[in-house]
A = this chain, B = another copy of it.
Amino acid sequence: MALKAISAKDAASLDKDLMEIGGWSLDQLMELAGLSVSQAGKYLAAPELQDYNVLVVCGPGNNGGDGLVAARHLAQYGYNPSVYYPKQGKNELYQRLKVQLENLCVPFITDFEAELQKTDFLVDAIFGFSFGGPLRAPFGEIVSQIEKSSVPVLSVDAPSSWDIQAGPPKEGPGATFMPKALISLTAPKPCVQYYRGRHFIGGRFLTRTIAEKYGLDLPQYQGIDQILEVGVDAEGRL
C-alpha cells in the first residue's frame, strides 16, 4: 500500500488547520495520536504482559506528549511502563499528562542507562516532524545509547536524530539508528524513504478534505483499529 509523504512544513500547517478550522484541541489530537502509538506498541510486544517493561523516552515537545499518552494507555493494557522525560515541557497539557501517569504509579526515571538495561521495549518519543537538529544534551547521548543497545525500538513519527527530509545524519548520534518499528502520525514524513523496518500509520482523525488539500492518502484503517501497518519495500518505498 502506497501512502504519500508530507513535508515538515505541511505537517505543521495541517496541525494548525485541524485546530483552527477543524475544531480539534491539542488534548484530543494528542489523545488519539498517543492511543495509536500504544496500539502499535501492543501489537509489537510479547503477548505475555506479565513483567513486560516498556521504557518511553519523551522529548520536550508534542512528540514527547504523544509518548506520555502512549505510556498511560500501555499502563492500562497491563504493561510496566516507565518514562524518561529529562527536558519536561512547561505546557500545562504535558504537566497534566504527567499527573495522569503518576496516578497510575508509572515511574519517571532518572537513570536512563540503568533503565535501558532492564527494559524489553523502548518507545522513542523524543523528536517528531518539527525536529530541526542538532541534538541538544542530553539527547545526543540518549540516542547513542539507544543505538548501541539491542532493545527493540518503536519510533514515533520519525527516528529521533533523523532529519525529517534527509534521513539519518551522516555521522554522530543516530547515524546508524534503525528502529525496529516506526509509527507515522497522520502521514509518513519524507525521511521514511531511508527507513527499513515495520511501518505503521496512526492518528485516525484525518478527513477527506484535509487529505486532499495536502495531497495525502486516507489510510484504509480496518474496523476499530487506530493503526494500520503499511510497510516499506526494499527500496524504501511505502
Q: Which residues of A contact B (CB under 8 A)?
A: 21-25, 27-28, 31-32, 35, 38-39, 42, 73, 76-77, 93, 95-100, 103-105, 204-205, 207-210, 221, 223-224
Per a CB cutoff under 8 Å, which of B25, B73, B105, B209 touches A27?
Answer: B25
Q: Give the distance in Å from the alpha carbon of A27 to the alpha carbon of B24 in the complex.
A: 9
Q: Give the distance in Å from the alpha carbon of A129 to the alpha carbon of B89 in the complex.
A: 36
Q: Give the distance in Å from the alpha carbon of A204 to the alpha carbon of B72 in the complex.
A: 10
Copies of this chain assembled into the complex: 2
Instruction: Write the nearest CB–CB distance from A78 to chain B, whole angstroms.
Output: 9
Residues in B with CB closer than 8 Å to A104 are 207-208
Are A22 and B103 in contact (CB-based, < 8 A)? yes
Instruction: Write the nearest CB–CB distance from A102 to chain B, whole angstroms.
Output: 8
Q: Give the distance in Å from the alpha carbon of A208 to the alpha carbon of B75 in the complex.
A: 12
Q: Give the distance in Å from the alpha carbon of A28 to the alpha carbon of B72 in the complex.
A: 12
Per a CB cutoff under 8 Å, which of B99, B105, B204, B210 touches A22?
Answer: B99
Q: Which residue of B lies closest to A96 (CB)?
A: B23
Q: Which residue of B lies closest to A74 (CB)?
A: B224
Residues in B with CB closer than 8 Å to A100 are 22-24
Are A99 and B223 in contact (CB-based, < 8 A)? no
Residues in B with CB closer than 8 Å to A42 are 223-224
The 6 closest A-B pairs by CB, nearest first: A23-B99, A23-B96, A27-B27, A23-B100, A31-B31, A25-B27
